[in-house]
Chain A
Amino acid sequence: MREVVLKIEDLCVDYGKKSILKNINVTFEKNKITAIIGPSGCGKSTFLKSLNKTVEEYGGKISGSISLNNNSIMNMPLEKLRNSIGMVFQTPVVFPFSIYKNMTFAPIYYGEKNKEKLNSIVVENLKKACLYEEVKSDLNMQASKLSGGQQQRLVIARCLTVNPEIILLDEPCSALDIKNTSHIEKMLLELKNDYTIIIVTHNLAQAKRIADYVMYMEEGTMVEMGNPDEIFNNPVDSRTKEYILYMKN
């Protein structure tokens, strides 16, 4: 059964006078991985950032409507919105604390004081992000000492600590080697049982491997969306066709 979690209608985003996203209409399905592809500068990151309104922190203006489980997010308290829609940025941004404190930073803010509870939040989410085994002996280590791939998984685990429904990932593997990339892909495939995942990637092979749906963007518009087979082998729009051909060579 198709169940829509996120419905976007006529979404536009402007930075000052510059219009970045133009009338985007799209829906995202529950417990699926949707990959967003498109030439760089077409507005993929901006699109992700508008879904939990972080784009406003950069001075962007959003118009149109976005609804989460049929509730408009436009007037939803930011805290509630960002608890439901978590975000992982392109370069992993770990806080300058220990691994443990990175993981408890948000739960403590939300009022969790019980030490056991906090411990279990840390362990559980590190496990979900396939990082626990590697760091369990040294949770008090500075997070910045982890490798790039580990940091990226830590950031994903940290994002899970607020119990989001949807996870947005912006090119999470762009700085990682093959081994770390496949680690993350495996993790995402497991996470999709519990979460809805929207991932921007410039790696078409990656989209093919993990995505249930692929969305192609160009110049601030959504060109088309479909399952990977359709998009990669039988795109409807000539722009998609061109891009895929170009990327293959």
Chain B
Amino acid sequence: MKNKFQDNLFKLWVIISGLTILIVTIGIFSYLLYKGFKVISTEFIFSSPKGVPLGTEGGIFPAIVGSLLSGLLSGLLGGILGLCTAVYLVFYCENLTIKIYILQALQCLAGIPSVVIGLFGYSLLIVGFGINKSLLSASITLTIMIIPFISIRIKKALEETSKDQYICSLSLGISKSYTIVRLVIPNAFKYIMTSLGIGIAFSMGATAPVMFTGAVISSGIPSKLTDPFMSLPYHLYILVNEGLSVDMAYGTAFVLIVIVLLINLICHLVGNYEDM
């Protein structure tokens, strides 16, 4: 009798936890969408910030473009580096000690607060190498932040999907590198794309790493890598922090969320596109 009661209590607790997560998520989303949607207009999306102080009127177009560019650039850099790291760990690293050190390093990197990564990027790239506060330096800093997430996910995907096929291909006398490029990577392509999507979304939402290294309060659309840029989360931060306009901030948040969701969706679709 008592056991039965405990059983039910536990079940109730688990169900409540699950429901809470669901409700909180839906709540946040619908509130944001509701508050943000009111502000959305073609002007908001396609024009630059206007008004005095700047940002109280007009739109966020440069910030949209800036965030997209920095997100895609860091996704590209992080994707290449993360994929290579994962391939090395899974297929080339034969020394267990080295493997453990690399994995530990990735774990540590993942645990560094993003504001500290921003500080590091600032000291190294801006102060040290003398690069402008720019798209390039911000993207490199973001790349450092997302690498552990991308490489650990891809590593897992490579381990799960391909060992048998990998060995089967080697048993046909085919070289390791050809097998990895033509078989293993296409095979894990779906997971690689979703990892990349998560990485890009993560980098587009980050404020701290870009505010020291490239994001500015106001700029046009960057025309080269060494131009500074506007970023959605940083713009949002300024709007709220300076008390410029909470409505505009919700609009910005709305756009940011929609873009992040779209990027995840696109990566998912590309990953599922089978042309093999």
Mark A residues whose CB is within 8 Å of B.
52, 54, 57-58, 78-83, 86-87, 89, 91, 93, 95-98, 101, 105-106, 109, 155, 158-159, 161-162
Contact between B174 and A109 (Cβ–Cβ < 8 Å)? yes
Which residues of chain B come closer than 8 Å to A106, judged between CB atoms? 172-174
Report the nearest B residue to A158, measured CB to CB: B172
CA of A87 to CA of B175, assembled, Å: 16
Mark B residues whose CB is within 8 Å of A.
164-165, 167-175, 178, 182-183, 186-187, 276
Q: Say which residue of A87, A93, A109 sits within 8 Å of B178 (CB atoms).
A: A109
Smallest Cβ distance from B187 to chain A, in angstroms? 5
Q: Say which residue of B167, B171, B182, B183 sits within 8 Å of A86 (CB atoms).
A: B171
Report the nearest A residue to B186, measured CB to CB: A96
Contact between A54 and B276 (Cβ–Cβ < 8 Å)? no
Smallest Cβ distance from B182 to chain A, in angstroms? 8
Contact between A81 and B276 (Cβ–Cβ < 8 Å)? no
> 10 more A-B contacts (CB under 8 A) besides A81-B173, A95-B165, A101-B276?
A80-B173, A82-B171, A89-B164, A93-B168, A95-B187, A97-B276, A98-B276, A109-B182, A161-B172, A162-B173
Report the nearest B residue to A89, measured CB to CB: B168
If over half of B's interface residues share one DSSP class (helix, strand or loop), that class is named, otherwise mixed; here it is helix
CA of A79 to CA of B179, assembled, Å: 13
Contact between B276 and A79 (Cβ–Cβ < 8 Å)? no
Which residues of chain B come closer than 8 Å to A89, judged between CB atoms? 164, 167-168
CA of A203 to CA of B116, assembled, Å: 64
Contact between B171 and A87 (Cβ–Cβ < 8 Å)? yes
Which residues of chain B come closer than 8 Å to A80, judged between CB atoms? 173
Which residues of chain B come closer than 8 Å to A78, judged between CB atoms? 170, 173
Report the nearest A residue to B172, measured CB to CB: A106
Smallest Cβ distance from A64 to chain B, in angstroms? 20
Smallest Cβ distance from B52 to chain A, in angstroms? 59
CA of A109 to CA of B175, assembled, Å: 9
Smallest Cβ distance from A174 to chain B, in angstroms? 15
Smallest Cβ distance from A89 to chain B, in angstroms? 6
Q: Which 9 A-B pairs have the closest CB atoms?
A: A82-B173, A79-B173, A93-B168, A87-B171, A106-B172, A83-B173, A93-B164, A97-B276, A109-B174
* Contact status of A57 and B170, CB under 8 A, knowing A79-B175, A95-B183: yes
